[in-house]
Chain A
Amino acid sequence: MAGKGVITPQKDRSDLIVRLQEAQQRYGYVPEEVIRALADSLNIPVHEVYGVASFYSFLSTRPLGRNVIRVCKSLPCYLKSAEMIMEAVQKELGIGLGETTPDGRFTFQLTNCIGLCDHAPAMLINQDTHVDLTPEKIKQILKSYQ
């Protein structure tokens, strides 16, 4: 874990979320060391930094896989059989909801509306969008993420 506390020192409180996003991007989650270091450098309590880090769904305080799959579960996607997409992902990867593959390649999550309802069902992998999904497309899409 050496070096994980090294996030640009920043005195400005408003930059807390930006720093947390940087950590999420760099390590795939927000490690405890980063939370402590940020609390220290911004001079705010550790619990407050943790409170922010744990509030937002795109920040994680636990390690995630290298690629995070977020299948949309909101109504417009549900109407277009999103549940079949969820099943296809789980079958392909052999993991359940919220789990990470043993090789650390994928984490499978669900998400609320991602604003792609005109191309439902849809999902995000990391920051990429995948739309008009069918169970058949899943295998090919997952292949492109290492």
Chain B
Amino acid sequence: MPQKRVVLKNCEVIDPKRIDSHLESGGFKALSKARGEMTPEQITNEVKASGLRGRGGAGFPCGIKWDGARTAPGANKYVICNADEGEVGTFKDRYILEKDPFTLIEGILIAGQAIGAKQGYIYLRAEYHYLLDHLQSAIDQAKQKGFLNGFSLEIREGVGAYICGEESALMDSIEGKRGEARYRPPFPTTSGLWGQPTIINNVETLMNIPPIILNGADWFSQMGTERSKGTKVFSVSGDVARPGVYEIVLGSPLRELVEELAMAKDVKMVQIGGATGRILPYDKLDTPLAFEAVLGAGAVTVYNESRDVIDIVHRTMEFLAEESCGKCTPCRQGTEVMAEVLDKFHKGEGSLKELQNLEALSSAMMLSSLCGLGQAAPNAVMDSLQYFRNDYESRVAK
């Protein structure tokens, strides 16, 4: 299947510095439709019917989330756009923010209309500070054209913490606290930012909203698989000839992305979804990219035959150990212990007993960690043990 541009439709087409260029190509028509012809319930129903699921990694049905916040009691509701793109190997949101900030703003405004929010935040990661003025200018232009219509949209800058991409940690960070995951329930739709009903969506999720409102749920749900509708934007890097951002229909095989589009050769394995993502060996390259199989936030890191699996998994775990917020013990301690054990294997000093410990620890972390970081932290370990067990066993100290 060739590339299909739904989310990236305007990227490299419009002038991202000028709202008029965006308006000339049909910008803000979806917002007019949502405000002029639809009730909030009709908007959320359309999004529900589209089958759109969150693009930040977790894949929660967007319309259900919106409906939860729409029907929740609360005087002040909030829309948050998660632009804290921190997953290792992900840079698609950076590309979107650079090339088409207007469609994102339109998506946020439609979300606000749907749930009855008057205030929105874009949480922009500190590492993307260079996009701040650009994004602010886009907001100012939309305001000048009257599109904000009483809605207040503010950018909050992150301060360098991977965990703040996790929705509850992100909200704590906006509230001026350490970015630590919250206990749930309650969920953000009823008790989010400052305890008020809140929806928090990834940049790419919100980019899908204007085309869904404009073209209808049926148009959208024709693309993709049964449980994964629409397209996905992938960030491909590592051992490939053409690293970059690619948008393809969900359900397309991994091979198409890795070998045909990014032109990888001698592939040993692919890490899909970054540090908390899955690892697939070369012979699984026909796996479909979908929520039913593998997806995550769309980070695809390709490793060729020259790479050492244990080295990759060890570095992945070191990252997670550093970035764990430390609030819950299974994640704080589990990632540290795993990094130590993997270091031993990396040096050829592992033991069979420690292999068993890794597996037991993985189960405990998946079950008992507070948020997605700790729950998904063992993925790379478990997958590499499944597909590259020999690499571990050959590193057991003699």
Contact = CB atoms under 8 A, between A and B. Distances in A.
Contacts of B271: 75
Contacts of B102: none
Contact residues of B: prevailing secondary structure: mixed
Contacts of A52: 176-178
Interface in A11-50: 12-18, 20-21
A113 B90 CA distance: 8
A82 to B, nearest CB: 11
Interface in B159-193: 159-162, 173-179
B18 interface: no
B91 interface: yes
Contacts of A78: 315
B239 A79 contact: yes
A113 B89 contact: yes
Contacts of A18: 156, 176
A113 B91 CA distance: 10
A28 to B, nearest CB: 15
How many B residues are at the interface, by size bracket? 35 or more
Contacts of B301: 75-76, 79, 117
Contact of B88 (A12, A14, A57, A75): A75
Contacts of A58: 126, 158-160
B243 A57 contact: no
Contacts, number: 116
Contact of A117 (B159, B179, B237): B237
Contact of A56 (B86, B129, B159, B322): B159
B91 A56 contact: no
Interface string B283-312: 000000000000000000101000100001
A112 B315 contact: no
Given A13-B176, A115-B127, A120-B237, A21 B159 contact: yes
Given A21-B157, A115-B127, A129-B130, A75 B176 contact: no
Interface of A: 12-18, 20-21, 51-52, 55-59, 74-76, 78-79, 111-120, 124, 127-129
Ranked 6 nearest A-B pairs via Cβ = A58-B160, A56-B159, A57-B160, A16-B176, A117-B237, A76-B237
22 contacts: A12-B176, A13-B175, A14-B174, A14-B175, A52-B178, A55-B179, A56-B179, A59-B160, A75-B238, A76-B237, A79-B238, A79-B303, A112-B323, A113-B88, A115-B86, A115-B90, A115-B94, A117-B91, A117-B235, A117-B243, A118-B243, A127-B129
Given A51-B178, A56-B179, 4 more contacts: A16-B177, A58-B159, A79-B239, A118-B235
